């Protein structure tokens, strides 16, 4: 992003601005604080596709167009000692998800395992946040969410499934947890939006058109993805040669886990668009799992063994020309080390979005750009 006229803005100040912005638009302070924290936490780890860049275009814009409720009703509709089903009533997804994971963790703390699922929730941002909550309590955490359909099944061109992450988090004896956190498509919408903000063309392999050929026209792709005219490829890519059907199967599994237990909406019901082209709410489903490691083995023994697995992986023989082998969660930790004293990098499009929010919500805050 070196050529993007970057201004770095301290994390706590960006978080305070967003919290106050959410409050100004009508989100209660406790919920606004969670939403701002989840967003800025993504930028702390370099997950810029799901961080503060989405403050306006996803959350505020949906509130402004009347498709997202500012006040969240968190209703537990069914509960046992180890499970719960929650109805989020189209409230703020970050807040619903955080509370649902908290419930799963409390249940796991008492009984060894806890699983909660949500329906009528909304976009919850970067999935690692919720798995990390379990890691911080010495547990294994896992979360899934469905999302607006954008992935075509193997041999199809119609967007049917969301980018549906399934994110595990596990504590280790290293400075950072094991955290594979990604979409089940080759790429995901947030990254295409980021390319749009940077005015960059899409590379081969990410998006296909109705003719089954790759598309590169980022801005039009973002429009066409909402109109069924372009689709993302599942992990593994097109066809069967590279195992695209395995990514397709993973995405389907996430769709099922996120929606069938909670009876949440699924696939085309998440288009966010009426047949007349008017924006509608996107009320989706999530799942959260917490596993208390100490019910199986001493926590230190688990951490040591997973650490050993990861170290052996990184120390294994490298391909010619390759400098490093990474393990999941490592790059994000290094980004945190790099960014922690700098903050969030704001490029021009992001600055303009924040200027617009400040002006539209009449916020008295000083922006550093």
Ligand X SMILES: NC(=O)c1ccc[n+]([C@@H]2O[C@H](COP(=O)([O-])OP(=O)(O)OC[C@H]3O[C@@H](n4cnc5c(N)ncnc54)[C@H](O)[C@@H]3O)[C@@H](O)[C@H]2O)c1
Cβ-proximal residues to 16 (8 Å cutoff; 6+ apart), any chain: 36, 365
Q: Which of 35, 60, 170, 179 binds ligand X (CB under 6 A)?
A: 179
CA neighbor of 80 nearest in space, from 261, 311, 294:
261
Q: 24 by DSSP, 3-state: which? A: helix
Give the burial string for 310-319 (b: 16+ CB within 10 Å, else e).
beeeeeeeee
Q: Does position 182 bind ligand X by CB under 6 A? A: yes
Q: Does position 44 bind ligand X by CB under 6 A? A: no
Q: Which of 90, 102, 122, 163 binds ligand X (CB under 6 A)?
A: 163
> CB of 58: closest distance to ligand X in angstroms?
10
> CB of 248: closest distance to ligand X in angstroms?
15
Contact stretch for ligand X (CB under 6 A) within 9-17, 65-73, 126-134, 239-247: 126-134
Give yes or no for a contact between 176 and 160, defined as CB atoms under 8 angstroms apart. Answer: no
Q: Which two tokens stand for residue 179?
A: 């955290």
Region 135-154 residues binding ligand X, contact defined as CB under 6 A:
145, 147
Q: Which of 43, 87, 193, 332 binds ligand X (CB under 6 A)?
A: 332
Q: Which of 86, 126, 142, 152 binds ligand X (CB under 6 A)?
A: 126
CA neighbor of 67 nearest in space, from 260, 280, 240, 272:
280
d(Cα 360, Cα 355) in Å, to the nearest integer? Answer: 9
Q: Are strands 113-121 and 83-87 parallel, antiparallel or unpaired?
A: parallel
> CB of 365: closest distance to ligand X in angstroms?
27
Q: Which residues pair with 139 in a beta bridge?
A: 292
Q: Which two tokens stand for residue 111?
A: 């009984």
> CB of 12: closest distance to ligand X in angstroms?
21
Residues 302, 333, 176, CA angle at the centre, nearest 5°?
15
Of 129 and 358, CB closest to ligand X: 129
Q: Does position 124 bind ligand X by CB under 6 A? A: yes
Tell me how many residues contact ligand X (CB under 6 A): 29
> CB of 148: closest distance to ligand X in angstroms?
8
Backbone angles phi, psi at 283, to 5 degrees: -100, 110
> CB of 367: closest distance to ligand X in angstroms?
26
> CB of 7: closest distance to ligand X in angstroms?
23
Contact stretch for ligand X (CB under 6 A) within 51-59, 62-70, 122-130, 199-207: 122-130
Q: Does position 50 bind ligand X by CB under 6 A? A: yes
Of 126 and 290, CB closest to ligand X: 126
Contact stretch for ligand X (CB under 6 A) within 114-122, 130-138, 181-189, 199-207: 181-189
Q: How far is CA 13 from CA 1, 19, 356, in A?
A: 21, 10, 17
d(Cα 345, Cα 131) in Å, to the nearest integer? Answer: 25
Binding site for ligand X (CB under 6 A): 47, 49-50, 123-128, 145, 147, 163, 165, 167, 179-183, 188, 190-191, 326-332
């Amino acid at each position: 992003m070196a050529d993007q006229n970057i201004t770095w803005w301290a994390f706590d100040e960006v978080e305070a601005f967003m919290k106050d912005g959410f409050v100004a638009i009508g989100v209660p302070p406790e919920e606004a604080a969670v939403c701002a924290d989840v967003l800025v936490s993504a930028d702390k780890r370099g997950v810029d596709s799901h961080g503060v860049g989405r403050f306006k275009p996803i959350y505020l814009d949906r509130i402004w167009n009347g498709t997202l409720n500012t006040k969240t009703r968190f209703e537990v509709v069914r509960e046992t000692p180890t499970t719960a089903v929650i109805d989020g009533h189209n409230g703020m997804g970050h807040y619903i998800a955080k509370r649902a994971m908290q419930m799963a963790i409390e249940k796991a703390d008492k009984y060894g395992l806890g699983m909660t699922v949500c329906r009528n929730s909304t976009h919850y941002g970067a999935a690692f946040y919720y798995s990390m909550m379990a890691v911080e309590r010495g547990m294994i955490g896992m979360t899934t969410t469905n999302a607006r359909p954008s992935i075509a099944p193997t041999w199809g061109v119609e967007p049917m499934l969301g980018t549906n992450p399934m994110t595990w988090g596990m504590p280790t004896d290293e400075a950072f947890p094991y955290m594979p956190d990604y979409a089940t498509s080759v790429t995901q919408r947030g990254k295409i939006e980021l390319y749009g903000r940077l005015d960059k063309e899409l590379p081969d392999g990410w998006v296909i058109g109705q003719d089954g050929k790759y598309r590169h026209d980022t801005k039009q792709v973002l429009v066409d993805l909402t109109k069924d005219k372009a689709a993302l490829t599942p992990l593994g890519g097109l066809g069967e040669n590279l195992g695209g059907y395995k990514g397709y199967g993973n995405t389907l599994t996430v769709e099922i886990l996120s929606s069938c237990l909670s009876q949440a909406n699924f696939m085309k019901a998440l288009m966010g668009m009426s047949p007349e082209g008017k924006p509608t709410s996107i009320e989706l489903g999530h799942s959260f799992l917490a596993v208390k490691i100490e019910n199986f083995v001493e926590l230190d023994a688990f951490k040591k063994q997973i650490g050993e697995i990861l170290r052996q992986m990184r120390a294994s023989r490298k391909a010619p020309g390759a400098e490093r082998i990474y393990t999941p969660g490592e790059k994000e930790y290094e980004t945190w080390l790099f960014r922690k004293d700098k903050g969030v990098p704001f490029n021009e499009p992001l600055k303009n979005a924040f200027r617009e929010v400040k002006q539209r919500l009449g916020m008295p805050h000083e922006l550093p750009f």
